[in-house]
Structure 1
Amino acid sequence: WWQTCTPIDIDGDGDLDIVAGNFGLNSRLKASSKEPVKLYINDFDDNGSAEQVMTYYLKGEEICFSSKTQLEKRMPALKKKFLYAADFAKASVEDIFGKKKLSTAQQRYADHFANTVFINQGKLSFQPMILPDAVQYSTLKAIVSIPSAKPTILLAGNFYEYNVEIGRMDADQGNYLHMKAGKPVVTQVPNRVLAGQVRKMQPITVKGKQAYIIAKNNGSWQILQQ
């Protein structure tokens, strides 16, 4: 679930790499090529309109992301099919929606949630490198380059409006990113300046010195000075 991407020469070798913000790894949703998060789109209850059903894997089993109560709001027929929550909890995705409905549904997959840097290898080839754990605690929304002796990137994000099953993503407080010995290294921005829902960071000059104006969703503008 990519949120943003910025072409930047992060390793200082003269070509453009890509720093990409994603959903992050700090939620109950885990995704991989073998066990992706899936979205099925079909008219599951034959009412003339399509419903969306998201699933994920838990201990090797594909299960519904939405609760029984939430699914019943969109598909009331499920109330009669599964009178008790215990029965619903034991049912597979195929038991709930039917093999035919699932096989004929439009399907979308997500198999990579990590915030990632893609290192340019030349000839349109990029090597993905997952960023350190400190950058995976939340959704990454904003990326900006910082002029310095070694290429440095400022990262920030967070997103509060996910539903209750995911919970709000608010653990990121901003990080500086650079490469060291071919690996990404991060340092947290001090004083919680980048806590909150950062959406945009723009370089400006304040009294002849480099600074950054920080735009936050439902928050005041802030200035980060170097």
Structure 2
Amino acid sequence: MNQKGRFVKDSLQFSGLEINASKVKVWDLQNDGDLDVLIASDQLPLEFGSSSRQYVYLNDGKGNFKADTSDAYREFIQLPSVKDFLWADIDKDGEEDLIVSGYWEPIKVLKSVDGILRLMENNGLDNTNGWWNTLEAADFDQDGDLDLIAGNWGLNSRLKASREFPITLYRADFDENGTTDPLVTYFEGGKETPFASKDELVKQMPFLNKEFLSYKSFARANLEQLFSKSALDKAEKKQLYELKSIYLVNDGKGNFTSREMPRIAQATITHDIFVDDFDGDDFQDLLLVGNTYEISTQLGRLDASHGIILLNDKKGNFNWIQSPGINISGPARAIERIRIKEEDFLIIGINNAPPLMFKYKE
């Protein structure tokens, strides 16, 4: 709680809530003049790829919050993975819509229908399953509606994904020891294969060492020989088809078409996006930040970004420019604009390092 510039922890609010939170935002959900709290989660702790749930806390007008699980928010609460979300009126009906992104999930839109948040379908987003980290909305092509930018894993790794050749997560007790084993697969040369090496898999599932004595026999086996068709069919399955960060153009009715972004935007994972008019032409531009070091040695860390500036070409497309004034090294996680003593700054959160600050001039 803010007490004259000093923040004091309120141990009563949100007590007992222990989750792997990915995002916290406030919004006046009830249009009653006070701010409510939405807390997102992308997976359960220590359970890779598990389905989590989301949380809605309503404000009583006196700063007290109570969890709400009513039908009004149920479809949001039941979403299995949320990394980011925002509010934007994408169909110009005068009401703000909730746009949501997460892991192993398509980008989703929830609209308020008679006071109840409902998932929308057939809007061009149904097959956008990705590893989405961040969302931003703005009228990039200046046609009077809000478009979207979504930050994803990128293309600078050996992983590739499509509808025909998806990356798949299987979750099942493959070795029948009472615990759930996550298995990630991808396609190599048209063959579905585990991403983890034999050495990595046998640490979790030792039976593979007994059935496949050599690396050669393991490499020659197909997925059903390794884990059996029955076990794979019974497993919880999640898939992703898109690894690119994308620009989604709105047709004015809340239907979206994906448009390519410059190749540099796919050089690494994108964790956050800052939107503003950098060059004074009245069109919104982008600053992408990302990188990640906590990653399998098979992939190598994703560290190609030093802050990627993309200028709008006034036609709703983006072009990369090199900016000598920006050097955002390291695993950047978030970027925000703040004001200190009548001056604007960009502050960038870096994982396991002090934040970076840049004076910002429009």
Q: TM-score range by the shorter chain?
A: over 0.9
- Residue 288 (structure 2) aligns with: 155
2:321 corresponds to 1:187 = yes
TM superposition shift of 1:67: 0.5
Q: Deviations over 1:45-84 (max 9, x none)?
A: 1112221111000111111101001110011111110010
CA distance, structure 2, for counterparts of residue 224 and residue 9 of structure 1: 26
TM superposition shift of 1:211: 3.3
Candidates 122, 133, 143, aligned match of 1:13: 143
**Count of aligned pairs:** 226
TM superposition shift of 1:209: 5.2
Q: Which range moved further: 45-54 or 143-152?
A: 143-152
- Residue 172 (structure 1) aligns with: 305
Q: Which amino acid aligns with 1:86?
A: K
Structure 1: which 5+ residue stretches go unaligned? Answer: none
CA distance, structure 2, for counterparts of residue 106 and residue 154 of structure 1: 37
Candidates 203, 219, 222, aligned match of 1:73: 203
TM superposition shift of 1:179: 2.8
Of all paired residues, the percent bearing the same amino acid is 37
TM superposition shift of 1:137: 0.9
Instruction: Map 1:68-217 to 2 at 5 A.
Output: 68-147=198-277, 148-149=280-281, 150-180=283-313, 181-190=315-324, 193-205=327-339, 210-217=344-351
Q: Deviations over 1:6-39 (max 9, x none)?
A: 1122223332111110011011110001000001
Contact 2:333 2:349 in 1 (8 A): yes
Q: Which amino acid aligns with 2:297?
A: V
- Residue 221 (structure 1) aligns with: 355
Report the secondary structure of 1:190's partner residue.
coil
TM superposition shift of 1:151: 1.2
CA distance, structure 2, for counterparts of residue 175 and residue 76 of structure 1: 44
Greater relative contact order (CA < 8 Å, ≥ 6 in sequence)? 1
CA distance, structure 1, for counterparts of residue 339 and residue 323 of structure 2: 19
Report the secondary structure of 1:167's partner residue.
coil
RMSD, aligned α-carbons = 1.7
Q: 1:14 to 1:211 in 2, by over 3 A?
A: farther
Contact 1:154 1:177 in 2 (8 A): yes
Contact 1:10 1:178 in 2 (8 A): no
CA distance, structure 2, for counterparts of residue 198 and residue 9 of structure 1: 26
Q: Deviations over 1:129-173 (max 9, x none)?
A: 132111111000111122432211211111110121222111111
Instruction: Map 1:23-102 to 2 at 5 A.
Output: 23-102=153-232
CA distance, structure 2, for counterparts of residue 104 and residue 78 of structure 1: 19
**Please, what TM-score do these two structures have when normalized by structure 1?**
0.93
CA distance, structure 2, for counterparts of residue 193 and residue 64 of structure 1: 37
Q: Which amino acid aligns with 2:319?
A: V
Structure 2: which 5+ residue stretches go unaligned? Answer: 1-130
Report the secondary structure of 2:251's partner residue.
strand
Q: Which amino acid aligns with 1:69?
A: D
